[in-house]
C-alpha cells in the first residue's frame, strides 16, 4: 500500500536581497515527505535546511515554487492557517505559567472549551511523562524537562505536521541522546509527521525514517539512514555522514588500482578513468604485513576511544587510512606507531563516488 504524502515542495526557491546582492538560500528544492514519517533535513550551517523549514511553516514565502500540505497548495497561507506547529531551538516557554498552563496555552488561544483543554493537557503530560511536574514553573525544570514541555505544547493541538528546528542542540551529550529516543517514541505514538532539522549526523541516523542531505541550497541525496551511510552518492555526502576514508585511484579494463599500482577489491562496473573510492573505518581490518590479500601499510598513530581504537595507517603511495578496531577487554590492540602491517577491506566496502 502506497503512503500518502503529507508535505511536498515543488521547485521551491528562496532568494534574499536584490540585484548583485542576491543570495540564493534555496535552489529549486523538490521533496515529498510521507504522512507519519520522521523526516530529517541534514546539512552544515548555511545549507538551506532551516530556510526550507520556515517555508513549510509559513514564516517565509518562497521566491518561486510551491508548498503543498496533503496535496493542497498552501504557499500563500499565513502560519496561523496552517495545521503545522514548530518547536524551536530555544524552548520559548512562558516563565510565569506552569507546565500545565504552558501546554494548554495554544489551545486556549484557539478558543477550545475548558474541558477539551484540560483533557488535552492531561493527555500530553502523560505522553511526555511529566504528570508530577504539572504545577511547576519552567525555571524549576531541567533542560530536558523544558524540552518535553515545549514538545507537549506543540503537540497538544494535534497538528498535521510538527517542525523541529535543532531542538536538542542546547542539551548536553547524555541528555541529547535520551531525548533522541524520546522524540522517536513520541513520533511513533502520535503518528504525526515530524520534520527535523539538524547538523548532527548521529541524530539524523538514529531517529529518522528518511534523511535529506543538503548543501548550498540543494538536496543532494534522500534515503533511509542505512542507504545514505552505506551508499553515498558523492564525496560530500560520504564525508558529512560519519567518518570516511577516501582513496584516489584509476579504473581501467575493469580493474581498480592505486597510483602505486596496488589492486583494490572494488566493484567498478560502469566506471573508467580517475575515480575516488570511499570506505568506512569500521570496514577496514588490520592483518599481518606479509598477508597475500592485504595492502602494505605503516601505523602512523593509534587513538583510544574506550569501546574502540582508531588505527591511523599510511599506504605505500602516501594515502592515509583509518581503521576502527574493537577493543579487547584489556583495552590493548597490540599495535604501535611505526609497525609494518597489512590492511584489508570488507567485501563490498569500497564505494566508487561520483566526481
Better pLDDT: 292 or 68: 68
Q: Is the pLDDT of residue 22 over 60?
A: yes
Q: How many domains in the chain?
A: 2
Whole-number Å distance between alpha carbons of 345 and 293: 10
- Residue 39 near residue 209 (C-beta atoms within 8 A): yes
* 81 pLDDT higher than 90: yes
Angstrom distance (rounded) from CA 85 to CA 117: 17
User: What percent of the chain shows pLDDT beyond 70?
Assistant: 98
Residue ending a domain, choose from 204, 235, 266 = 235
Residues 212 and 264 both lie in one domain: no
pLDDT band at 115 (very low <50, low <70, confident <90, very high): very high
Alpha helix (H) residue ranges in the chain: 49-57, 99-109, 114-127, 143-155, 173-190, 201-207, 225-230, 235-240
270 plus 226 within the same structural domain: no
Range of the domain at 138: 5-235
Return mean pLDDT, the chain.
91
Q: Which residues pair with 85 in a beta bridge?
A: 162
**Same domain, yes or no, for 68 and 208?**
yes
Residue 169 has what pLDDT?
82
Instruction: Say yes or no: 213 and 262 in one domain.
Output: no
Domain boundary among 217, 235, 253: 235
CA quadruple 240, 241, 245, 251: dihedral sign: negative
Query: 57 with 189, same domain?
Result: yes
- Do 251 and 207 sit in the same domain of this protein? no
Cα separations (Å) of 243 from 74, 281, 311? 39, 7, 13
pLDDT of residue 15 exceeding 90, the answer is yes
Residues 241, 201 contacting (CB under 8 angstroms): yes
Q: Are residues 130 and 10 in the same domain?
A: yes
Q: Does the structure show a pLDDT above 90 at 218?
A: yes
Rounded to an integer, the average pLDDT of 204-209 is 94
Q: Are residues 71 and 213 in the same domain?
A: yes
Looking at residue 2, what is its pLDDT?
61
Count of beta carbons in the 10 Å neighbourhood of residue 248: 12
Higher pLDDT pick, 349 / 221: 221
pLDDT digits (tens, 9 = 90+) for 160-206: 999 999 988 877 888 888 888 888 999 999 999 999 999 999 999 99
pLDDT at position 219 is 97
Three cell numbers, residue 163: 517542525
pLDDT at 176: 85
The CA-based dihedral angle spanning residues 176, 178, 180, 183, taken in that order and rounded to the nearest 10 degrees = -120
The enclosing domain of 162 has a CATH number of 3.40.50.300
- Contacts (Cβ under 8 Å, ≥6 apart) of 165: 50, 53, 86, 87, 88, 89, 197
pLDDT reported for residue 354:
65
Tens digits of residue pLDDT in 138-161: 999 988 899 889 999 999 999 999
Q: How confident is the model at residue 327 (pLDDT cuts 50, 70, 90)?
A: confident
When pLDDT is averaged across residues 241-260 and rounded to a whole number, the result is: 86
Instruction: State residue 163 phi and psi, 5-degree precision.
Output: -100, 135
The answer to whether 214 touches 48, Cβ cutoff 8 Å, is: yes
Encode 165-185: b = buried (16+ Cβ within 10 Å), e = exposed. Answer: bbbbeebeeebbeebbebbbe
3-class secondary structure, 92:
coil
Average pLDDT of the segment spanning 77-86: 94
192 and 220 inside one domain? yes
Answer yes or no: do 163 and 217 share one domain.
yes
What's the predicted TM-score (pTM) here? 0.89
pLDDT band at 331 (very low <50, low <70, confident <90, very high): low
CATH of the domain at 311: 2.40.50.140
pLDDT of residue 350: 87
Report the pLDDT value the prediction gives residue 355, as an integer from 0 to 100: 57
* C-alpha–C-alpha distance, residues 101 and 90, integer Å: 18
> 35 with 57, same domain?
yes
* Residue that is last in its domain, among 207, 235, 263: 235
Q: Which of 91, 115, 120 is nearest to 104 (CA)?
A: 120
Decide if pLDDT at 270 tops 90: no
What letter does residue 136 receive in the DSSP assignment?
-
Report the distance separating Cα 83 and Cα 163, nearest Å.
Answer: 11
Question: Is the model's pLDDT at 332 over the cut of 80?
Answer: no
Does the pLDDT value for residue 291 go beyond 70? yes
Residue 132 has pLDDT above 90, yes or no: yes
Pairing, β 161-165 against β 193-198: parallel
In this predicted structure, the answer to whether residue 329 has a pLDDT above a threshold of 80 is no
What percentage of the chain carries pLDDT values higher than 90? 66
**Do 196 and 287 belong together in one domain?**
no
Amino acid at each position: 500500500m502506497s503512503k500518502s504524502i503529507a508535505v511536498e515542495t515543488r521547485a521551491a526557491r528562496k532568494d534574499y536581497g536584490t540585484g548583485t546582492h542576491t543570495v540564493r538560500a534555496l535552489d529549486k528544492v523538490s521533496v515529498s515527505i510521507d504522512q507519519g514519517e520522521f523526516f530529517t533535513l541534514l546539512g552544515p550551517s548555511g545549507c538551506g535546511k532551516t530556510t526550507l523549514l520556515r517555508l513549510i511553516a509559513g514564516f517565509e514565502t518562497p521566491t518561486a515554487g510551491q508548498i503543498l500540505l496533503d496535496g493542497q497548495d498552501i504557499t500563500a497561507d499565513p502560519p496561523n492557517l496552517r495545521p503545522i506547529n514548530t518547536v524551536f531551538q530555544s524552548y520559548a516557554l512562558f516563565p510565569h505559567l506552569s507546565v500545565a498552563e504552558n501546554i494548554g496555552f495554544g489551545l486556549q488561544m484557539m478558543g477550545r472549551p475548558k474541558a477539551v483543554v484540560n483533557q488535552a493537557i492531561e493527555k500530553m503530560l502523560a505522553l511526555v511523562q511529566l504528570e508530577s511536574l504539572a504545577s511547576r514553573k519552567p525555571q524549576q525544570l531541567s533542560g530536558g524537562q523544558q524540552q518535553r514541555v515545549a514538545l507537549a505544547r506543540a503537540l497538544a493541538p494535534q497538528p498535521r505536521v510538527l517542525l523541529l528546528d535543532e531542538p536538542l542542540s542546547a542539551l548536553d551529550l547524555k541528555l541529547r541522546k535520551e531525548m533522541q529516543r524520546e522524540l522517536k517514541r513520541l513520533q511513533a505514538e502520535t503518528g504525526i509527521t515530524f520534520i527535523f532539522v539538524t547538523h548532527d549526523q548521529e541524530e539524523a541516523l538514529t531517529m529518522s525514517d528518511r534523511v535529506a542531505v543538503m548543501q548550498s541550497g540543494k538536496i543532494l541525496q534522500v534515503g533511509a539512514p542505512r542507504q545514505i551511510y552505506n551508499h553515498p552518492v558523492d564525496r560530500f555526502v560520504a564525508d558529512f555522514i560519519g567518518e570516511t576514508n577516501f582513496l584516489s585511484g584509476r579504473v581501467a579494463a575493469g580493474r581498480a588500482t592505486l597510483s602505486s599500482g596496488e589492486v583494490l577489491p572494488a566493484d567498478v562496473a560502469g566506471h573508467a578513468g580517475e575515480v575516488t573510492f570511499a570506505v568506512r573505518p569500521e570496514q577496514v581490518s588490520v592483518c599481518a604485513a606479509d598477508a597475500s590479500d592485504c595492502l602494505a601499510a605503516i601505523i602512523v598513530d593509534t587513538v583510544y576511544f574506550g569501546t574502540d581504537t582508531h588505527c591511523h595507517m599510511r599506504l605505500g603511495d602516501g594515502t592515509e587510512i583509518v581503521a576502527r578496531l574493537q577493543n579487547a577487554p584489556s583495552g590493548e590492540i597490540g599495535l604501535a606507531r611505526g609497525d609494518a602491517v597489512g590492511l584489508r577491506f570488507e567485501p563490498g566496502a569500497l564505494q566508487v563516488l561520483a566526481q
